[in-house]
Structure 1
C-alpha cells in the first residue's frame, strides 16, 4: 500500500470517528435553547466526548416530519411539544423509547413513577413544563396593574396593543378564560360550536389592537420595543427578559396554559444509540434540576423539584417563577393533547378564516 492510500485511509477513519462522536439536537432556540446547552449539551460532551450540535427551529415537529417523510433524516434528537410527540408517534414518525432504560430517581424510584403526568409517552421523554402566560410592561400602567386573564382583554381599563401568537392553540383557551370560563370547564365549552363562537367573539373584542407574533423571541421583543403593552408569551422568555436583562416586565399567572416539552428520536435517525444516551443523560433528576438554573421552566421529574435552587445570578430563587409553583396554579389549565388531536384541523381552519376577515 503506498503512502497516498495510507494517508487517505487515515483521513477517512478520522472523519468517520469525528462524525460518530457528534449528534444534532433540534430545539427552539433563544433562552430555552441556551439553557439546554448549559445544562445538557456541555456536561454530556464532557462526560462522553460526544459533541452536541444545536439546531434551532420555530417548531421542531415540522422539519422532523418533513425529514422522516422524505427519507432524509439529518437530526438525531428533537425537542417537541406533547401533542406533537403523541401525534408523530401515532403516525410512525418516531422511534419508540423504552422507559425502563431511563435512569431511576436518586432514591431508586423507577422513571415510570418519577415523571409527572404526560412526562412520558411511547416515543418521548419529558424535560420541562412551560406555560403560555400574559405579561405586561409595568411602566405602561402607572396606577392599576393587570392581575387576571380578563384584564388582558379589557382595553378600556388597560389600554394598549396586545401581542398574541398566530395560532389557535392556547389562544382560544385563554380567550374563554378571559370571558369568565373557569379553567376546569374550558375544554367542555370549547368542544361545542357555541363555545368556539364565544372564544372568537372574545378575540373579536380586541382584534383591532392585536399584534401577531410567530416565534417565542418576538413576544418579549414586542414589549421591549413598546409595540404592545401586554402580550401572551412563554413564561421562560419573559423571565429571561425581566431577570437577566432587567426589563420592567411582570407575569400574570391567572389563566396560564401549561404544557410539556419532550425529547424524541426521529424514525430512521442515525446514531440512535448516542441519541438515546443523550436523552437518558439530559432527563435524569439532576440535569433537569440544573436546567432551572438557566430558565424558569419546571422539571418534568418529581425528584428534581427539591433540587431546584438559584438562578445563574446566584440570588434569584427559581421556585416562585415556575409554572408549577402552587401559587401560580390557582386558575391554570393543562393543555389537552386529546382535545387538540381531535379538533386541531377544524379550529385551525376556523382561525385562518377569522384572520382573513381583517
Structure 2
C-alpha cells in the first residue's frame, strides 16, 4: 500500500511539473497579432487604453497596428477567399460585421461565456448597452457623426446651430465636406427636409423617400467636397478649404481641444453609432479572443474615455468616466450621450444598412460622379 501511494504521489508531482512547465512555455511564447483600426486619434486612444498596457503586462505579446478599417469588410473577404487570413482582430462597424458574420468569415460570439462580466457580476449581455451586441460583434464605443464648422469663417453673432444651417448655403456660405458614402448623409438630408429623427428610416425605406433625400442633397451638391478617411475632415476645416465638415465627434474633439483648432460641433441631428471588434476566422483567433476579453472589460472601456470623447459601450464603464488624461478636463460634456448633446439624435439603423446598403451605395457613387 505504501509503495502504491508513493507511486501515485510521484505521478501527481510529475504532472504538476509538466503543467507548470507548460504555463511557463505559454507565458514565454512569442505572440503577434495584427490589429486593424481606423487610425488617427481613435487608434491612439486604443493604443494608450488597451494595447500598450496589455503589452506591458505581457511582454511576450506584440500588437501590430493596421489602419485598414475603412475597407475592413472587403479586406476580410479577400483574405478569406485567398485562404490567407493575416488580420487577427478588426475594428468594424456593426452593419459590416453582420455581413461578415452571415458569410462565416468572422467568429460568432457567446457574449456571456467569452466576455468579462461587470465588477458586480452582471453578465456581459446585460452590461453592454441595449442594442449594441451583435452575433459576431463586440461593441467598444458609442460615437456619433456630427456636423462641425470653423468658427472663424462665420460672424460671431451668426454662428450655425443646426443641420438645417448646414444645408442653408445662402445664410451660411462656404464649401462643405461630407463622407463619400450614403449612410448618415441620406439621414441628414431627410432630417433637414423636415422628417423627425425617429421617422427617418420609415421614410428612407421607400423609393419616394430615397428620391427625397437625394433631391435635398442636390441643393448643396455644387458646394460639396467628399472625404474618405476620417482624418481628412478636420484637416479640410483647419486649412479653410471648407466652412463645414461632417466628421467623427472624437476626431473633432481631438482637433479642437488637443490641437486648439477653432471648431465647434453641432450636436443637432448627431447620428449615433456603435463601433467594436470582430475576430476573423483565422489561425490566431484564440489569442485574439483572449486579448479582447481583457480589452473590453469595464475598466478598459472607461480608460479609453480618458483619451477621446467616445462613450464606453458598457453601463458599468460609464460610471467611471472622468477627466481627460492629459488635458484634465471633464470628459462627460464631450460625450455623444451627454444629456445636453442628446436632444435630437438619429440612431443609425444597422439592419437598414445591411438590407439596403449595397443598392444605396451604388446610387450614391453614381450621384457623386454626376
TM-score tier, shorter chain, comes to over 0.9
- 1:329 equivalenced with 2:332 (yes/no): no
Question: Matched residues in 2 for 1:19 and 1:246: separation?
Answer: 44
**Higher Cα Rg, which structure:** 2
Find out whether 1:202 has 2:203 as its counterpart.
no
Separation (CA, whole Å) in 2 of partners of 1:76 and 1:356: 36
Counting only pairs closer than 5 Å after superposition, residues 54-73 of structure 1 correspond to structure 2 as 54-57=65-68, 58-73=70-85
| Cα contact 1:119–1:301 (8 A) shared by 2 | no
- Of residues 85, 100, 119 in structure 2, which corresponds to 1:88? 100
Give RMSD over aligned pairs.
1.5
- Normalised to the residue count of structure 2, the TM-score between the two structures is 0.89
Match of 1:52 in 2: 63
Deviation at 1:90, TM superposition (A): 0.9
Aligned to 1:233, what secondary structure does the other structure show?
strand
Q: Is the 8 A contact 1:255 1:332 kept in 2?
A: yes
- The count of residues paired between Structure 1 and Structure 2 equals 341
For the 8 Å contact 1:67–1:73, the answer to whether it is kept is yes
Cα distance in 2 between the residues matched to 1:18 and 1:34: 27
Secondary structure of the equivalent of 2:319?
A: helix
Match of 1:32 among 42, 63, 68: 42
The equivalent position to 1:118 in structure 2, one of 131, 134, 137, is: 131
Q: 8 Å contact 1:28–1:59 — kept in the other structure?
A: no
> What SS does structure 1 have at the residue aligned with 2:118?
coil
Q: What is the CA-CA distance between 1:313 and the residue it aligns to?
A: 2.6
Note the C-alpha offset of 1:126. Answer: 0.6
TM-score, scaled relative to structure 1: 0.92
The correspondence for 2:365, drawn from 348, 352, 356, is 352
Are residue 339 (structure 1) and residue 352 (structure 2) matched?
Answer: yes
2:334 & 2:278 partners in 1: Cα distance? 27
Provide, for residues 32-73 of structure 1, a one-character-per-residue CA deviation record: whole Å limited to 9, x for no partner. Answer: 001000001011112233221111123323212221222111
d(CA) in 2 for partners of 1:85, 1:182: 28
Which residue pairs with 1:254 in the alignment?
A: 268
CA distance in 2, matches of 1:97, 1:47: 25
Q: How does 1:227-306 map to 2 (within 5 A)?
A: 227-267=241-281, 269-306=282-319
Moved over 4 A (4+): 16-19
Q: Deviations over 1:116-173 (max 9, x none)?
A: 1232222121101111100000011112111111110001111100000011011100
Q: Which residue does the alignment assign to 1:309?
A: 322
Give the one of 87, 95, 103 matched to 1:75.
Answer: 87
1:272 Cα offset (Å): 1.9
1:118–1:260 CA contact under 8 A, matched in 2: no
Q: Is residue 81–residue 261 contact of structure 1 (8 Å, CA) maintained in 2?
A: yes
Q: Is the 8 A contact 1:119 1:262 kept in 2?
A: no
What residue is the counterpart of 1:161 in the other structure?
A: 175
